[in-house]
Amino acid sequence: MKKNCLTCEESFEVSEKDRSFLSRFDVLDPVECPTCREQRRLSYRNEKTLYLRDCELCGKQTVSIYSKDKPYHVYCQSCWWSDNWEQTDSSHDFDFSLPFFEQFNELLHDAKLVALFGGKNHNSEYVNQETDDKNCYMNAGGHYNEDSFYNMYSIWGKNTVDNYWVIRSELLYECIKCENCFNCTHLENCKNCTDCHHCQDLKSCQDCFGSKNLRHKQYCYFNEQLTQEQYEEKLKKPDQNFREHFLKHPYQHAIIENCEDCTGNDLSECKDCEDSYLSEKCRDCKNIFVALGVKDAQDICSIGWSELIYNSASSGELNTCMSVSSIWQCNFCSYCFVCFSSNNCFGCIGLHRKEYCILNKQYTKQEYEELLPKIIAHLKQTGEYGQFFDPAYSPFCYNETVAQQYYPLTKEQTLASGWKWKDKASHEYLPQTYQGSYQIEKVPPSITQETLACNSCGKNYRIIEPELKFYRRQKLPIPKNCPDCRHQARLEKRPSRKLFTRNCHSCKTEIRTSYAPERPEMVYCERCYLSELT
C-alpha cells in the first residue's frame, strides 16, 4: 500500500509483510518514510563530537558527548557504573494528560547520563562507543583497536589512522571498507592486500598502485602489469589521475557476498534482507544500516547481536525491543535510552540491572503488566506509539549528531523543524600558528604544540605525538583538513543508501543499485562484472 510521509511528503510503500512484522509489536503503519525514520534515529547518535565537562558526582573533569552547557546530569563512567547513586531517584509517575514524548523529555533532564559509551579501554580517554581499545584516540563504533586514531567502525585494527569500516588490518591510512590489509593507503573495497595504494576492489594483491578490479596480482600500476623494477621506477613520480582511471573500469552494481535473497549494498552472509546496507550475518531484516548478527528487524541503525527489533539505534544484545537507543543487554524494552542489562522497561533513561520500570519508577511485575497496556493505549491515541523519539528532545544538537553527516541541514532548516543547533565556538576557529611545510620530512617535532586550521571549514585541530609518529613511519604528509572534514570526505565516497533502477552497462539487464543512473560510473551486473575481473 502506498502512503505519503507526514514529514517530507514523499511516497513510500507498506507491504503486507511489513504489517505482519509490525503486528508483533502491535504497531500500525508508519507515518514517515524510511528516510525520515532513519533521520530521527540518527539524531540521537553523537559519535565524535566530544567535550570536557565535570562529573556531577565526583567533580572530576571527564570527556563527554554532552557539552557542559547542556542541562543534564552527567556522570563519568566510573561513577555511573558504581553503586554510589540511586537510579530510581529520578522516577516520574506517568501522566495520562500529557503526550509521552514531553514526559520523556522531563525525565531526560532528571536522569543520570553516562559521559561516554564503551568499556575496557586503556589509555584511550577520547574514544566513544568503543570497547577493548589500547592507546587510541577519536575512534568511534569499533572494538579491539591498538595505536589507532580517527577511525570509524574499525575492529581489530593496529596502527590505523583515518579509516572507515576496516577489519583485522594494520598500518592503514585513509581506507574504506577493507579487511585483512597491511601497509596500505587510500584503498576502497579491498581484501587481503599488502603494500597497495590508491586502489579499488582488489583481492589478494600486493604492490599495486592506482589499480582497480584485480585478483591475485603484484606490481600492477594503473592495472598495467610491470616487473618489480619497472613498478618501482613508476612510483618515483606517480600519476595522480585515479578517478579518471577508475571510470574506465566497471563498478559492481552491489557488493553482496555469500547472501541469499538480499537487496542493498555491502552485505555479507545475510539472508532475506531488504534495502539493507553495511551489515553482516543478518536474517529477515528490512531497512537496516550497520548491523551484525541481527534477526527479525526493521528500521535499525548500528545494532548488533539482537533479535526482533523495530525502529531502534546504537544498541546491542537485545531481544524484543522497540524505539530504543543506546541500550545494551536488554529484553522486552521500549522507548528506553542509555539503559543496560535491564528487562521489561518502558520509557526509562539511565538504568542498569533494573526490571519492571516505567519512567524510571519501580513497579512490581503485576503492577507493570496492568499499567503498561493503558500507557500503550494512550500513546496510540496521541499518535506516538511506534514512532522513534522526537528529535526536538534529543540531548544533542542536530549538527552534533550522525544525522547531520547523512542528512545535512542548515541552521535555518534545523530550527524551522523545531530541532536544536549548536553554533560554532569562536575559540575553535583561531588563526593557524604553524607556518611550515606539510611534507613529513620537513615537519618539526614542535608541530604537536601548534594550532592548525582546516583548509575546508577553518576549524582548529592539532597533531598528537603518536599520530605524528605514524605519519613519519609511513612517510605521509600532515593532513591539511580537520578530522571532521576528513571523515565527511570518506563518507562522500560511498555509494548512496538508496536503490535505483538502471541497466547493466554491458548486457543491458535491469539492475537495482546504489549508483544513481546519472552517475558516470560504468555499473555492471554481477555476472558481467565477474567476467571482467583479471
- 294 within some domain: yes
- Strand partners of residue 152: 140, 164
Indicate if 138 and 220 belong to the same structural domain. yes
Q: What is the pLDDT confidence band of residue 534, given thresholds at 50, 70 and 90? A: low
pLDDT, tens only, 279-292: 999 999 999 999 99
Indicate if 225 and 312 belong to the same structural domain. no
pLDDT on residue 533: 83
Give this prediction's pTM.
0.94
pLDDT, tens only, 108-149: 999 999 999 988 999 999 999 999 999 999 999 999 999 999
Indicate if 216 and 277 belong to the same structural domain. no
Q: Specify the higher pLDDT residue, 1 or 415.
A: 415
Indicate if 233 and 147 belong to the same structural domain. yes
pLDDT exceeding 70 applies to what percent of the chain? 100
How many other β-carbons are positioned within 10 Å of the β-carbon of residue 77? 19
pLDDT on residue 402: 96
pLDDT, tens only, 306-342: 999 999 999 999 999 999 999 999 999 999 999 999 9
Indicate if 270 and 248 belong to the same structural domain. no
Indicate if 437 and 474 belong to the same structural domain. yes
Give Dmax (Cα) for the chain: 79
pLDDT on residue 276: 97
Asked if the model's pLDDT at residue 495 lies above 90, the reply is no
pLDDT exceeding 90 applies to what percent of the chain? 96
Indicate if 143 and 216 belong to the same structural domain. yes
Residue ranges of E strands in 204-341: 206-209, 212-215, 218-221, 224-225, 251-252, 256-257, 264-268, 271-280, 283-322, 325-331, 337-340
pLDDT on residue 107: 98
Indicate if 245 and 154 belong to the same structural domain. yes
How high does pLDDT run on average in the chain?
96
Q: What is the pLDDT confidence band of residue 88, given thresholds at 50, 70 and 90? A: confident
Indicate if 129 and 237 belong to the same structural domain. yes
- 524 within some domain: yes
pLDDT, tens only, 21-35: 999 999 999 999 999
Q: Given CA atoms 288, 294, 295, 301 in this order, what sign does their dihedral have?
A: negative
CB 68 within 8 A of CB 54: yes
CB 108 within 8 A of CB 395: yes
pLDDT, tens only, 245-261: 999 999 999 999 999 99
Indicate if 143 and 230 belong to the same structural domain. yes
Indicate if 143 and 240 belong to the same structural domain. yes
Asked if the model's pLDDT at residue 92 lies above 70, the reply is yes
Indicate if 149 and 221 belong to the same structural domain. yes
Give the residue from 205, 227, 252 where a domain finishes: 252
- 384 within some domain: no
Region 493-511 average pLDDT: 93
- 105 within some domain: no
- 25 within some domain: no
Quote the domain boundaries for residue 127: 119-252
